[in-house]
Structure 1
């Protein structure tokens, strides 16, 4: 056994020198203290680096699952576009088209100053257009004096004379108005025969909006024809503490109009009674559109325009001036995720990092002005170190380029978006434990070795100087 231990001593890397053969010096002591301080400092720095994490940024082809949808959030105010006709459409390069989205879109009437007026409107999606009588059915109907278009001079007096007046706001050039005209005349004759002048409970009338533009704009008429119900000189009825305006949106046949009139007559003299077949008409000129749409991850557009299956629009009347309160893609990160994103984002976060159009106003300085906004969207995926899969999340940024031009088409606002095929992948990583041990050993060994070399150099230098001094003295 003693022989085995003797052989083991032969491979000792750290052979010891007897203490009586070593010499301690003051210089070596100072160098030892300095080396110890450096070791502690470097070890502490390395340990802090081991506990912290670093990020690695990569550019990869977008790894989104097939058929994954993207959420586009918006909040836009139009001071001169009525909620009655404001619609939100979505289309994309694959041919998908969805018109008049309502389930995830909220419409709120606003004033010219973009102040909210009343509650959000209940807008039914995909409502079919009104039915009409066959063309030529009432060609033999004689003209009726009472249907001579009203003007601003006799409009108020006519409304004040009868408890209920149903007014047809029309434009001679309008196709739907031309279809309605003979039916309107026939229905007017039958209603007035059934409820003659001496009865005086209801009357039909009409207004030519090409001749009475100010009168029509005063009542927020933007689509033709618009059928409004006025009670005792106004169409504002006070119900349960709220003011509401009424418009007729049913079929435009003679039978439907006469039946509608019969249903209105019992409410004559009762201006606070709401009729079941009437819907709220706009009492303000503008509309705020807010909500979100789910779109495919392909180039597409979000289209905001005035549209109705039974109305025509005068392009010169349409003013699509709008204020973008906000437009962002995807979901807003939570405060914790926002701080992670702010820390790990390759270039940091600017105040408008997620919404380049926030609080920007776009004014229609000319008639028939169409506004287009082109958005290029980039996806950034953050993968935290401790929850690489469960805690990863996406953040979307976009660049925006906007311009306004005059078009022969109906003025509109279009947000065209295009998604980059390149995804920014930010992965948070930590230092492995074995690397920490290797570096720690390198720090201790390296500092010890360098300190030993320095001590040896200084020791030999001092020794050589002493020899030279002794030689000169001898």
Structure 2
């Protein structure tokens, strides 16, 4: 994969897992549509996607992996590709995962690589569309050997609404509208230099001796004061 900002036309690979657990939509009518500012417009994209029936076929789980260009655009889950539109399609859902690019499983990196994971809209208006506005942030991770891996984090804002036109209510959908941030985040893994390790050990030892000295001084002072008190009682 190209570096995140190296080639504006190099694709990003989103991985989407949406579970429409409670909606009365059969898998056959659910599809993925993709649009962008380069003129791409695909309805019912099916490559590398899977629709698994749930609730005896009344609902479905949608999983997909596809490429998008590094230009503003959107992809959305809808019934737009269905030959016969279902009446009052219900778009309540749970998003289990939405990630972009390579998966980074690195300890001590707690970025927003799956910011929408666990988003639950099962109690929302069943007739509403859902808009997720994503700002995708290119991310580079460089390990100790200098090898780099490229991924993407993202921030998200969302809203839900029931849309109407002059002909009536518009068919609801789950929209993911995205744009790429001009800023790249880089994580660099470095070995701790030997001198820093030695400095840390010396600081710990020095601190221990300092605390021990303070305690010894306090004990000595208290002991001397007690002796004076005892001598005063004897006289």
* Structure-1-length-normalised TM-score: 0.36
Q: Secondary structure at the match of 2:44?
A: coil
Residue correspondence of structure 1 range 308-319 to structure 2 within 5 A: 308=81, 310-314=83-87, 317-319=88-90
Q: Which of 22, 44, 51 in structure 2 is aligned with 1:100?
A: 44
1:321 aligns with 2:85: no
Task: State the Cα RMSD in Å.
Answer: 2.6
Contact 2:92 2:126 (8 Å CA) reproduced? no
Provide Cα deviations, 1:247-273, integer angstroms capped at 9, x if missing partner. Answer: xxxxxxxxxxxxxxxxxxxxxxxxxxx
Q: Which of 181, 184, 192 in structure 2 is aligned with 1:420?
A: 181
Give 1:361's aligned residue.
Answer: 120
Give 1:300's aligned residue.
Answer: 73
Q: Secondary structure at the match of 2:184?
A: strand
Give 2:9's aligned residue.
Answer: 67
Q: Which of 144, 162, 182 in structure 2 is aligned with 1:406?
A: 162
Report the Cα offset of residue 94 of structure 1. Answer: 1.6
1:394 aligns with 2:150: yes
Contact 1:320 1:364 (8 Å CA) reproduced? no
Per residue, is there more strand in 1 or in 2?
A: 2
Looking at structure 1, the residues matched to 192 and 26 of structure 2 have their Cα atoms a distance apart, in angstroms, of: 60
Unaligned runs of 5+ in 2: 165-169, 196-235
Looking at structure 2, the residues matched to 96 and 285 of structure 1 have their Cα atoms a distance apart, in angstroms, of: 31
1:76 aligns with 2:18: yes
Which is bigger in relative contact order (C-alpha 8 A, separation at least 6)? 1
Contact 1:305 1:413 (8 Å CA) reproduced? yes
Contact 1:367 1:406 (8 Å CA) reproduced? no
Looking at structure 2, the residues matched to 65 and 308 of structure 1 have their Cα atoms a distance apart, in angstroms, of: 32
Looking at structure 2, the residues matched to 285 and 405 of structure 1 have their Cα atoms a distance apart, in angstroms, of: 24
Contact 2:29 2:85 (8 Å CA) reproduced? no
Looking at structure 2, the residues matched to 364 and 320 of structure 1 have their Cα atoms a distance apart, in angstroms, of: 10
- Structure 1 or 2, whichever has the larger Rg, is 1
Looking at structure 2, the residues matched to 287 and 294 of structure 1 have their Cα atoms a distance apart, in angstroms, of: 22
Provide Cα deviations, 1:133-191, integer angstroms capped at 9, x if missing partner. Answer: xxxxxxxxxxxxxxxxxxxxxxxxxxxxxxxxxxxxxxxxxxxxxxxxxxxxxxxxxxx
Per residue, is there more helix in 1 or in 2?
A: 1
Aligned residues: 186
Q: Secondary structure at the match of 2:57?
A: coil
1:375 aligns with 2:148: no
Change (3 A) 1:312 1:63: closer
Unaligned runs of 5+ in 1: 1-60, 112-282, 343-347, 437-474
Provide Cα deviations, 1:47-71, integer angstroms capped at 9, x if missing partner. Answer: xxxxxxxxxxxxxx96322421101
Looking at structure 1, the residues matched to 140 and 82 of structure 2 have their Cα atoms a distance apart, in angstroms, of: 43
